Amino acid sequence: MTNQKVLITGCGGMLGDAVYAEFSKNYSQVMATDINLTENWLTYLDVREIDQCEKAFDTFKPDIVLHLAALTDLEFCENDPDNTWKTNALGTENIALLAKKHNATMVYISTAGVFDGNQEYYNDFDQPNPLNYYAKSKYHGEVFVQRYLEKFFIFRAGWMMGSGVKKDKKFINKIFKQIQEGKKELFIVDDKLGTPTYTVNFAQSIFKVMKTGYYGLYNQVCSGSCSRYDVAVKFIEYLNLTDKIKITKVDSSYFEKEYFALRPYSEKLVNLKLESRKINFMEDWEKCLEEYSKVFINQLK
Ligand SMILES: NC(=O)c1ccc[n+]([C@@H]2O[C@H](COP(=O)([O-])OP(=O)(O)OC[C@H]3O[C@@H](n4cnc5c(N)ncnc54)[C@H](OP(=O)(O)O)[C@@H]3O)[C@@H](O)[C@H]2O)c1
């Protein structure tokens, strides 16, 4: 346990759960914030408002700031680009400027979505070319962090899975909700590729990599890669529902009205830098999904 102070933004979300658990285990003073106060351990902080951010830095005086706050729904971002720029890009610039002013180390969570998907795999050195407002605004965040700070970590995550029924906003919980609604057939795309990233494993890895003091930008995803279809097949298998639920492959045009934001064909990341520095603590995606599925099995009972 160290007595450095840790400020976390956007900690009420699906990654926030795991980050809060990991960092409050290792640091005695953690200030977890969000605009959505879903937990009693959260304090209100809107990263779009620099005076609110300044007040948090002035009063709490963090040594480390973990910046998770973002708008993460791609369709919502397409429909409201101004708010997306303010939250994801300006909000990150606000935190980066204050981290610089207060000499704090900043950790920023970015996304595999910064790439255009025209190649199958992307390492840490490949050139981003974001396709949608979410990814563009997140990429600007990466640029600000690198422009203003020396003591920073940027971790690019892939398809996030974690936090369970209540907070998981992404693919796994979307499938699970359909199962709970009684659906016996699921339609899943097989023309979108990526690397799942388990929040618990990801949060633990952030802590371990930070401890090395090797600052910089890192791809940090689970090992292995897959299509959305592959993930669904494994999830159903881990839920012991293979005989009860049919999974039908479709292509992305099937969901073009619902998921209208442009998405890359491939978001597969390779943790080249973490591997080379022998600090890749990410585990196999199937092993992580099997562990995560236990949360949902309990809900089925
Ligand atoms: N989920 C993924 O697949 C994924 C993949 C790669 C990278 N990431 C990155 O990982 C980080 C954490 O995302 P997540 O998956 O935990 O998403 P999340 O569940 O949407 O969490 C983000 C949190 O930030 C909050 N927030 C939104 N606007 C804010 C503002 N102006 N000030 C303060 N907080 C604000 C959100 O509140 P509301 O719920 O009210 O919006 C939410 O509680 C984000 O930076 C995201 O870009 C996520």
Give, for ligand 1, the residue of 43, 51, 68, 142 to mutate: max count of ligand atoms closer than 8 Å to Cβ. 68
- Ligand 1 in reach of 162 Cβ (< 6 A): no
* pLDDT value for 126: 98
- Ligand 1 in reach of 71 Cβ (< 6 A): yes
Residue-level pLDDT, tens digit, the chain, 301 residues:
788 999 999 999 999 999 999 999 999 999 999 999 999 999 999 999 999 999 999 999 999 999 999 999 999 999 999 999 999 999 999 999 999 999 999 999 999 999 999 999 999 999 999 999 999 999 999 999 999 999 999 999 999 999 999 999 999 999 999 999 999 999 999 999 999 999 999 999 999 999 999 999 999 999 999 999 999 999 999 999 999 999 999 999 999 999 999 999 999 999 999 999 999 999 999 999 999 999 999 888 6
- Write down the pTM of the prediction: 0.97
Contacts of 28 (CB under 8 A, 6+ apart): 1, 2, 3
CATH assignment of the domain containing 216: 3.40.50.720
Q: Looking at the CA of residue 49, tell me the nearest atom of ligand 1.
A: 31
- Ligand 1 in reach of 15 Cβ (< 6 A): yes
* pLDDT value for 299: 86
Q: Looking at the CA of residue 134, tell me the nearest atom of ligand 1.
A: 47
Cα within 13 Å of Cα(241), Cβ side? 24
Contact at 8 Å (CB) between 222 and 158? yes
- Ligand 1 in reach of 32 Cβ (< 6 A): no
Number of structural domains in the chain: 1
* pLDDT value for 300: 83
244 lies in which domain range?
1-301
- Ligand 1 in reach of 274 Cβ (< 6 A): no
Give the whole-angstrom CA distance, residue 170 versus residue 263. 15
Closest C-alpha among 235, 225, 124 to residue 177: 235
* pLDDT value for 301: 66
- Ligand 1 centre to CA of 245 (Å) is 31
Dihedral of CA atoms 291, 6, 135, 127 in degrees, nearest 10, equals -90
Give the SS3 label for residue 103.
Answer: coil
Contact at 8 Å (CB) between 230 and 238? no
Give the SS3 label for residue 76.
Answer: helix
Q: Looking at the CA of residue 160, tell me the nearest atom of ligand 1.
A: 3
Task: From residue 146, give the alpha-carbon distance in Å to each of 66, 195, 216, 237.
Answer: 15, 24, 8, 42
- Ligand 1 in reach of 94 Cβ (< 6 A): no
Give, for ligand 1, the residue of 31, 72, 139 to mutate: max count of ligand atoms closer than 8 Å to Cβ. 72
- Ligand 1 centre to CA of 110 (Å) is 10
Task: Report the nearest-CA residue for atom 21 of ligand 1.
Answer: 13
Q: Looking at the CA of residue 72, tell me the nearest atom of ligand 1.
A: 20
